[in-house]
Amino acid sequence: MGEFVVTLLTGLSSAAALFLVASGLSIIFGVTRIVNFAHGSFYMLGAYIGVSAVHAVGGGAIGFWIAILIAAAAVGLIGVAMEVLLLRRIYRAPELFQLIATFGVILVIQDITLWIWGSEDLVGPRAPGFTGAVTILGQRLPEYDLVLIAVSPLVLAGLWLLFNRTRWGTLVRAATLDRQMVSALGVNQRWLFTGVLFLGSALAGLGGAIQLPKGGADLLMDFNIIAAAFVVVVVGGMGSIGGAFLAAMLIGLLQTFGIQIFPNSTLILMFLVMAVVLIFRPWGLLGQPEIPGHGVVEAPEAPLRPADRGLRIVGAAVLAVLLLLPVAHLIVPSLVGDFSLVLVIEIMIFVLFAAALHFIMGPGGMVSFGHAAFFGGGAYAAALLVKFAEAPMEIAFWAAPAGAALLAILFGWFCVRLTGVYFAMLTLAFAQIAWSIVFQWGEVTGGDDGILGTWPSDWASSRIAYYYMTVGFVVAGLLALRRILFAPFGYTLRAGRDSPLRAAAIGIDLKRHQWVAFTISGAFAGLAGALFVYSKGSVFPTAMEIARSFDALLMVLLGGVHSLTGPIVGATALTWLNDLFSELSYWRFLLGATIIGLVLLLPNGLVGLGETGFGRRLGAAPDREVPA
């Protein structure tokens, strides 16, 4: 009995930090519709600033709590800075574009944190007066756990009062429900957004600071919390704070009891919960379905156009350079080194991966946060054939697109029933489940020791041969994807994206089309995975981790989601920039700052470069109305 009670209390206390972070994320999303990936970074900053503040204020009985509040307020101000300097300038950009801006912020914050606080983990200061343990039914429970258990309901109550008893809170709730109506009534949305960013970021900072007595501050905290925070927000229902509370408690308890019964379940449990909830309650426990056309301001896109002469000439020129590169390598190896070929192979692989994601994301209107499942899934399908059947490349290679397609059929069946951010989150959940299985099932997949020895057959093992093979597959893949989009199937897909209602009214089975598109996209991502696994000679679970999915997302958004050339340009630029900067010691800062700069300069993506002339020709969307 004592064991049960203490385990229960432990679960409730471990949910506290998670609830604080998730509620902030939920508030920000609810009002601004920004999926703030930098929220984990705010949590990390809260912890680091908290440590410094405790040292500065002195960790006395009152000083400690003052320091915690200072940390929360400081992080809130950082959130405000992000809103005023960055996000405010790009509200007119396509939805989700803000996401890459927050991505750049993550990278910049990582390096700044390393620079200020150094690389060694910091152990958190203990809360004065709460360093011991209480004995409950013969079991010991840290006193600070009781503090944490009390904090969540207090914050929840405070937020409830704020949202239900103040004018500002009423406006925030109104904006969450219907942003257009609020602005039509003459409310200045800018200040509303700034205030919401402060509140949300401060909650993340508070979460980071308040967990200090249970842990500390380290440089991996940002990515470690962000997935969990998203799970809580989605399970609870996006924009619902009560839901976030419920979900955080649920997940905290499930984790605590789960690892006693299934010690191996630590990686997968949370995502299983999310998948189950989304399948049975697509808007989360306490969330509400979006009112069509009210939550989001999106102008219809300009129709895609077939390539005109100019684009064809450029395409042919690029292709010619690609084909002639190895020749140049043979003639002047001093100018075109071996590594040029390696880099172009890498670029081409990510171009195909990004194009596959763009296929559902742009024309399909389905944003996947978990596309690495198909990239890595394909890579693993090929590698497993090599490992267990010693299949030669000619056979194993094809297992990749086939395996990825099968995976996409399975995941797609569940996912296409959802839309928008919920769709994205379910793909993320499935990707994480797939990742956990690969990671955990050591006997078959080799766990995180991966599968080695996946090298090409002799005829393709020379660098030049593999180069041509890659170029061939990628170019063919790109043309095939393009062809499908200009076939009736592609038009149907786009019709469904622009108006699901009208598409249904003229008798289109939209879900089926989306399911097929999802599968096609998965297959091409798998093809990219096959090229990847044979170029590296090994595959590891990192091929399907969240970061890989986000890489692809970043490439598509950076290139320009409204254009077919966008993912190609985005993937090329990002892979190349990554290589260029990675030799420098603060490459993350440089890359992050470059991304932020590009976002500010080119709110329609890189292909928006020739905004009025060439860009529009490539299919970049025209400017849209400011939502204010």
**Near other proteins in 281-310, by CB under 8 A:** 310
Closest CB to other proteins among 209 and 286? Answer: 209
φ/ψ of residue 305, rounded to 5? -120, 150
115-119 CB contacts, 8 Å cutoff, 24+ apart? 115/586, 116/48, 117/48, 117/51, 117/52, 117/217, 119/219
In the region spanning residues 400 to 439, those forming contacts with other proteins, defined by CB under 8 A, are: 439
In the region spanning residues 106 to 135, those forming contacts with other proteins, defined by CB under 8 A, are: 114, 119-123, 131-133
Q: How far is the CB of 374 from other proteins (least distance, A)?
A: 16
- Residue 49, token pair as written in the block: 């600033």
Closest CB to other proteins among 351 and 516? Answer: 351
Closest CB to other proteins among 219 and 517? Answer: 219
Asked if 140 interacts with other proteins (CB under 8 A), we say: yes
Among 572, 594, 602, 624, binds other proteins (CB under 8 A): 572
Asked if 375 interacts with other proteins (CB under 8 A), we say: no
The letter for the amino acid at 500 is P
Dist. CA 348–CA 623, nearest whole Å: 30
Q: Which stretch binds other proteins (CB under 8 A): 62-70, 336-344, 391-399, 500-508?
A: 336-344
Planar angle of CA 195, 199, 202, nearest 5 degrees: 135
Closest CB to other proteins among 467 and 515? Answer: 467
Which x/- pattern, by CB under 8 A, does the window 211-250 give for other proteins? ---xxx-xxxx--x--------------------------
DSSP letter at 59 equals -
Asked if 17 interacts with other proteins (CB under 8 A), we say: no
Asked if 532 interacts with other proteins (CB under 8 A), we say: yes
Among 13, 98, 152, 240, binds other proteins (CB under 8 A): 13
Query: Is 190 in contact with 628 (CB distance < 8 Å)?
Result: yes
Query: Is 41 in contact with 105 (CB distance < 8 Å)?
Result: yes
Asked if 318 interacts with other proteins (CB under 8 A), we say: yes
Which helix (H) or strand (E) is 414 found in, with range?
Answer: helix 393-415
Asked if 59 interacts with other proteins (CB under 8 A), we say: no
Dist. CA 573–CA 579, nearest whole Å: 10
Closest CB to other proteins among 414 and 614? Answer: 614
Asked if 255 interacts with other proteins (CB under 8 A), we say: yes
Dist. CA 527–CA 379, nearest whole Å: 8
Dist. CA 20–CA 151, nearest whole Å: 9
Tell me which residue of 197, 151, 149 sits closest to 24, measured CA to CA.
197
Dist. CA 627–CA 154, nearest whole Å: 34
Dist. CA 545–CA 431, nearest whole Å: 8
Q: How far is the CB of 488 from other proteins (least distance, A)?
A: 30
- CA distances in angstroms from 10 to 5, 142, 154, 390, listed in the order given: 9, 9, 18, 49
Closest CB to other proteins among 177 and 593? Answer: 593
Q: How far is the CB of 164 from other proteins (least distance, A)?
A: 33
Among 75, 78, 523, 573, binds other proteins (CB under 8 A): 573
Closest CB to other proteins among 287 and 570? Answer: 570
Q: Which stretch binds other proteins (CB under 8 A): 19-27, 137-145, 232-240, 271-279?
A: 137-145
Among 85, 136, 259, 487, binds other proteins (CB under 8 A): 259
Q: How far is the CB of 44 from other proteins (least distance, A)?
A: 12
Dist. CA 375–CA 467, nearest whole Å: 19
- CA distances in angstroms from 196 to 31, 33, 80, 193, 565, listed in the order given: 8, 11, 9, 5, 36
Asked if 597 interacts with other proteins (CB under 8 A), we say: no
Closest CB to other proteins among 175 and 434? Answer: 434
- Residue 510, token pair as written in the block: 């939209």
Asked if 448 interacts with other proteins (CB under 8 A), we say: yes
Asked if 458 interacts with other proteins (CB under 8 A), we say: no
Q: How far is the CB of 109 from other proteins (least distance, A)?
A: 13
Asked if 622 interacts with other proteins (CB under 8 A), we say: no
Query: What DSSP line would sit under 169-220, residue for residue?
Result: HHHHHHHHH-HHHHHHTT--HHHHHHHHHHHHHHHHHHHHHHTGGGSEE-TT
Among 302, 610, 622, 626, binds other proteins (CB under 8 A): 610
Q: Which stretch binds other proteins (CB under 8 A): 277-285, 388-396, 510-518, 571-579?
A: 571-579
Asked if 390 interacts with other proteins (CB under 8 A), we say: no
Q: How far is the CB of 340 from other proteins (least distance, A)?
A: 5
Asked if 7 interacts with other proteins (CB under 8 A), we say: yes
Tell me which residue of 425, 447, 391 sits closest to 546, measured CA to CA.
425
Closest CB to other proteins among 132 and 472? Answer: 132
- Residue 25, token pair as written in the block: 């994320």
Q: How far is the CB of 25 from other proteins (least distance, A)?
A: 18
Asked if 10 interacts with other proteins (CB under 8 A), we say: yes
Closest CB to other proteins among 119 and 280? Answer: 119
Closest CB to other proteins among 442 and 622? Answer: 442
Dist. CA 31–CA 164, nearest whole Å: 15
In the region spanning residues 536 to 565, those forming contacts with other proteins, defined by CB under 8 A, are: 536-538, 540, 542-543
Q: How far is the CB of 327 from other proteins (least distance, A)?
A: 13
Residues 6+ apart with CB under 8 A from 605: 97, 557, 558, 559, 560, 561, 562, 563, 566, 569, 570, 620
Which helix (H) or strand (E) is 142 found in, with range?
Answer: strand 139-142
Q: Which stretch binds other proteins (CB under 8 A): 50-58, 208-216, 394-402, 415-423?
A: 208-216
Closest CB to other proteins among 410 and 580? Answer: 580
- Residue 327, token pair as written in the block: 């020749």
Q: How far is the CB of 546 from other proteins (least distance, A)?
A: 13
Dist. CA 81–CA 389, nearest whole Å: 56
- CA distances in angstroms from 110 to 25, 582, 589, listed in the order given: 19, 15, 8
Q: How far is the CB of 586 from other proteins (least distance, A)?
A: 9
Query: Is 407 in contact with 423 (CB distance < 8 Å)?
Result: no
Dist. CA 208–CA 476, nearest whole Å: 48
Closest CB to other proteins among 185 and 547? Answer: 547
In the region spanning residues 347 to 366, those forming contacts with other proteins, defined by CB under 8 A, are: 347
Asked if 3 interacts with other proteins (CB under 8 A), we say: yes
Crossing angle for the helix pair 546-559 and 372-389, to the nearest 10 degrees = 130
Asked if 45 interacts with other proteins (CB under 8 A), we say: no
Asked if 467 interacts with other proteins (CB under 8 A), we say: no
